[in-house]
Amino acid sequence: MAQTAFAPWDDPEAKPLIEFRHVTKRFGDFIAIDDLSLEIYEREFFALLGPSGCGKTTMMRMLAGFEPPSAGTILLSGQDIAPVPPNKRAVNMMFQSYALFPHLTVWDNIAFGLKRDKLPKEAIEARVAEMLKLTRLEKFARRKPHQISGGQRQRVALARSLAKAPKLLLLDEPLGALDKKLRQDTQFELMDIQEKTGTTFVIVTHDQEEAMTVASRVAVMDEGRLIQVDTPDRIYEYPNSVYVADFIGDVNIIEGHAEKSGDGYEVTFAEGQPKLRAKTANGLRGSGRCYLAIRPEKIAISSQEPQDAANAVRGVIDDIAYLGNLSTYYVRLDNGKIIKAQTANTRRIAKRDLTWEDSVWLSWTDTAAVVLEN
Amino acid sequence: MRRLLLISVPYLWLLALFLVPFFIVLKISLSDTALAIPPYTPTLDLGAGWAGLKGFFAELDLENFWFLTTDDLYWKAYLSSVWIALFSTLLTLIVGYPIAYGMAQAREEWRPTLMMLVILPFWTSFLIRVYSWMGILSQEGVLNQFLMWSGVISDPLMILNTNTAVYIGIVYTYLPFMILPIYAALEKLDISLIEAAEDLGCSRFQAFWLVTVPLSKNGIIAGCFLVFIPALGEFVIPSLLGGSQTLMIGKVLWEEFFNNRDWPVASAVAVILLLILIIPIILFQRNEQKQREAEG
Ligand SMILES: Nc1ncnc2c1ncn2[C@@H]1O[C@H](COP(=O)(O)OP(=O)(O)OP(=O)(O)O)[C@@H](O)[C@H]1O
Ligand SMILES: [Mg+2]
């Protein structure tokens, strides 16, 4: 993808479009955003990921101008935006609750922002038609919001926020109510729009696959703080904490005791089990307690003991989850620990040679696991 | 059976409290005056049987309605009532909307108290409240004394016994009927709609005008009808606060009944008033129904 070359966050010269500087937001005693600093660059597709109530919407609302920060500053193109009212910000937001105007038709909802710009009638009509086409709502243009389905409403909200082609677009769970097919199509449309218009997107999503697909960078949040901000592949391959590893995708977390050995660590995790070897770039602060995070698809499963594998452990298949294209094997080790291993189903299910209660070997390379401190 | 009973209750109510009195009034309006008790003929004499009934209906005619067209007073009074009711409804809306808006913007825990304050005047007698306005508005009244004391005016203003006093009285009396439906509509309004409007480039005022007002439209319509309908037939306020030139049909009606003791003409006036009122009442019902459909 073209995005491999796009990495302004690595460029010390690049000026961020949005900058959060030690921003805190309190609601009474409750701290919704906790001393958060963040830079988002122009043309980015920035995804916010995190559990419910972690402050994603609050961040969006501060950017749109509906909530002033309790402390710290937010800069847009280097300017403090605190004194700029929402209607003067080159920012449009798609609300999590859609906030469609119930007294206006779908068409008028989408045209609402364009009319405020005093565009000529033909220009508005053309733009609305374009948006209706994009979101496949042509048939519903004359209906009121209460006369269409939940997914259609979501598309109206999306179309309305896109219509003004703002410099910064905030999308709060824009695709949650859409079916998978339409969601994927819309994701690609969004990426396409982004490429064509150069708009910067900040998107909240609960769907990590979506974040992985569309985002240039992903921020994982928890309780008002950023835990990790990185490109999707790095978030996935090199999570900086057990929290991130666990939040993004499926993972095996093995708790153990690490000792430095060569360019990596040897981890003792249970009595009677071999030490596990893991190379790592980011060293631990010393020897001691650690967590190994290993993705299930990086673990190979076999009935024979594998030759020259860096790590190999024995276990019994406890359960098999068949996901169509993939199967996940739940393997119980001698100490009771369950390890998940995932393989692609390249053969038909009847030909599969592993089944329940089979004794198997699990193996992985010394670079498969990430060593984490906590 | 229970269902039938349940459905019949409102109809019985309507029959007993509206249709029966209406037909009695209609009948009187078709009768002639007489020096008798009651002061009109004919009276229904069921003892006379079929012939009596026939004679009874033969004596009814539209004479009183014709009479209403012969004297300017009546149509002028109707017209002036409509005008006064319309104008005071508008004033009530202008005064009531900001109050309702303020209430809906107030903090949640304050709202019941504010609502209470709006309803509070109903706890004292309507007549007493109108009399107090006489005390406030008269030439020696509180208002004039205050204005003269503060030096705004040097001669007392003539407010009492003018149409201005009638407007003040109607606005004051019917304000809660305007505030409550508008407040109910505004309270339901989702604040994120205003935010969305501002996000799309509206100023505060534009957002108010393009979102808040249309979404409180049903409250406004309900409030206007609730003020206009009783104001049209209002009698107490124009007779106590209004002057000799204040012409309202309620006052005319009262004078026909009690000063002239002309019950048939008075009834004819009442029937016409009701017919005038039926138009806005039907419109009101239609609005309510449309609203229910939109919400359901
Ligand atoms: N106006 C408010 N007053 C008090 N607390 C608030 C207010 N708005 C948000 N909060 C609190 O701040 C926290 C963050 O809320 P926010 O809406 O940002 O969550 P979120 O990450 O968007 O969650 P979700 O994924 O469920 O949408 C929540 O605990 C919420 O209860
Ligand atoms: Mg949210």
pLDDT in tens, A113-153: 999 998 999 999 999 999 999 888 999 999 999 999 988 99
Interval B249-265: pLDDT, tens: 998 898 888 888 889 99
Residue A2 is predicted with a pLDDT of: 46
Answer whether residue A274 is part of any domain.
yes
Residue of A58, A210, A226 to test ligand 1 pocket, by largest number of atoms within 8 Å of CB: A58
Q: Give the CATH number of the domain where residue A312 resides.
A: 2.40.50.140
Identify the domain containing residue B157 by its residue range.
68-295
Same structural domain, A289 and A162: no
Measured CA to CA in angstroms, residue A29 lies from A22, A82, B106, B117 at distances of: 18, 22, 22, 32
Of B80 and B244, the structure prediction assigns the larger pLDDT to B80
Answer whether residue B41 is part of any domain.
no
Whether residue A116 and residue B198 make contact (CB cut-off 8 A), yes or no, is: no
Same structural domain, A232 and A291: no
Answer whether residue B211 is part of any domain.
yes
Separation CA A178–CA A186 (nearest Å): 9
Interval B87-138: pLDDT, tens: 999 999 999 999 999 999 999 999 999 999 999 988 999 999 999 999 999 9
Answer whether residue A1 is part of any domain.
no
Q: Which residues contact B226 (CB under 8 A, 6 or more apart)?
A: B174, B177, B178, B181
Whether residue A101 and residue B211 make contact (CB cut-off 8 A), yes or no, is: yes
Q: Give the CATH number of the domain where residue A62 resides.
A: 3.40.50.300
What integer is the mean pLDDT of A227-243?
92
Structure tokens at B145: 């004394």
Separation CA B97–CA B103 (nearest Å): 10
Structure tokens at A80: 């403090």
CA of A213 to the centre of ligand 1 (A): 26
Answer whether residue B289 is part of any domain.
yes
What count of CB pairs under 8 Å joins A to B? 55
How many angstroms separate the CA of residue B112 from the nearest CA in chain A? 23
Residue A21 is predicted with a pLDDT of: 95
Q: How many domains does chain A have?
A: 2
Interval A296-315: pLDDT, tens: 999 999 888 888 888 999 99
Q: Which residues contact B113 (CB under 8 A, 6 or more apart)?
A: none
Asked if residue A1 has pLDDT above 50, the reply is: no
- Give ligand 1 pocket residues (Cβ under 6 A): A 27, 30, 32, 50, 52-58, 96
Answer whether residue A2 is part of any domain.
no
Answer whether residue A350 is part of any domain.
yes
Longest dimension (CA), chain B: 80
Answer whether residue A132 is part of any domain.
yes
Which of A212, A242, A272 terminates a domain? The answer is A242
State the amino acid at position A137 in one-letter form: L
Answer whether residue A348 is part of any domain.
yes
Q: Give the CATH number of the domain where residue B200 resides.
A: 1.10.3720.10
- The model's pTM is 0.82
Interval A340-362: pLDDT, tens: 999 988 877 666 678 888 899 99
Q: What is the mean pLDDT of chain A?
A: 89
Asked if residue A286 has pLDDT above 70, the reply is: no
Answer whether residue A3 is part of any domain.
no
How many angstroms separate the CA of residue A342 from the nearest CA in chain B? 45
Taking Cα atoms as reference points, which of A190, A201, A183, A185 lies closest to residue A159? A190
Same structural domain, A304 and A177: no
Same structural domain, A209 and A285: no
CA of A224 to the centre of ligand 1 (A): 10
Residue A26 is predicted with a pLDDT of: 95
Per-residue confidence band for B277, with pLDDT thresholds at 50, 70 and 90:
confident
Q: How many domains does chain B have?
A: 1
**Is residue A236 within 8 Å of residue A230, measured between CB atoms?**
no
Other C-beta atoms within 10 Å of B259: how many? 8
What integer is the mean pLDDT of B55-71?
86
Answer whether residue B72 is part of any domain.
yes
Identify the domain containing residue A259 by its residue range.
250-372
Same structural domain, A103 and A16: yes
Taking Cα atoms as reference points, which of A350, A360, A353, A355 lies closest to residue A303? A360
